[in-house]
A and B are shown apart, each in its own frame.
Chain A
Amino acid sequence: MIELYILLIFMIVGAIIAIEVKDLLSSVVTVGAVGIALSMAFLILKAPDVAITQLVVEILCLIILIRATLKKDLPFISTGRWFLNTLITVGFIAMFLFVAAKALKDLPDFGYPIMKVAKIYIANGLAQTGAANVVSSVMLDFRAYDTLGEATVLFTAVIGVLAVVRKIGRKNQEGQDD
């Protein structure tokens, strides 16, 4: 499991670089590197479905973010109550970390899950659905309502993007982009 620690430390360092670097394009590209490291971590943790999806989604996410930051590189100005703001933020995060670290003690140990629900799925999955991939049978047969909700959320997000973007198109009358 040493490679998992290396990947996690790489991800933390990459995240710190991504939020501290001045250039917006470098920041976005560093987030892409963190996402690909996350995909490798999924592969080590024996979840190949999630690894493929994460890798593919990461590429599209990177394209969209680069599209947003292109030619809009602005210098970052820090003025005002810098010290007070940082102090309050660090205090909040320290409190959060303390409480969460206490809560982590009640979890089962790493590598030994309880699997109370998944036991039934693994035992009956192949016989009841006929699908060899248990993740697929959980997602589309045992728990298809989750997927239905996901489709609804995706549809709402698409409608939201089109609505936000369309308002600009209406303002200049000469361009008919439809």
Chain B
Amino acid sequence: MIREQDKGMSVIVKTVTRFTMGLILLYGIYILSHGHLSPGGGFAGGVIVALSFVLLMLAYGKETALKKFPKGVVSFFENAGAIMFLSIALLGFTGGYFFLNFLDKGEPYKLFSAGIIPLCNIAISLKVGAGLFAIFVALVLVKLESEKKV
């Protein structure tokens, strides 16, 4: 227990992080899923989702965060986002051309509307969030090792 507390920041920061991290993640999901109705969209939502994991990593140290989110999972999400975006674009060929909005448009101002745009938002947010989190993990991890060496 004492060894666990040594890693990362103080108890106050850890407690506040435990309460706020879920809310930040939820807010990111809200932003990205309502991207076609209100300001926001895939980019902002993805970065907010990445920021919630960055907060976890800053507060609890790298071991706890990487136990929850290994590197393989991050790269899997990034690849899944890219493949999802491209396959949505390719499915447009069923109706004629690349990036065709082939789904039903639905009723405006409702959550399930606008055809492929919410799906594209989800794909973009997966890609952006996983990519930026991978950049952060790479920068933090490598620097810690080399600082130990120097």
Contact = CB atoms under 8 A, between A and B. Distances in A.
A–B direct touch, CB within 8 Å, in complex? yes
Interface of A: 48-49, 51-53, 56-57, 59-60, 63-64, 67-68, 71, 126, 128-133, 135-137, 139-141, 144-145, 147-148, 151, 154-155, 157-158, 161-162, 165-166, 168-169, 172, 175, 177-178
A60 B132 contact: yes
Interface size class of chain B, counting residues whose CB lies under 8 Å from the partner chain: 35 or more
B108 A60 contact: no
Chain B binding site: helix, strand, loop or mixed by DSSP? helix
Contacts of A139: 41
A129 B101 contact: yes
A136 B138 contact: no
Given A60-B51, A158-B134, A133 B124 contact: no
Given A48-B39, A133-B38, A56 B44 contact: yes
A140 B54 contact: no
Nearest to B145: A175
Contact of B105 (A67, A129, A162): A129
Given A48-B39, A131-B36, A144-B120, A57 B143 contact: no
B131 to A, nearest CB: 5
A130 B40 contact: no
B109 A132 contact: yes
B37 A158 contact: no
B95 to A, nearest CB: 13
Interface in B40-64: 40-44, 47-48, 50-51, 54, 58
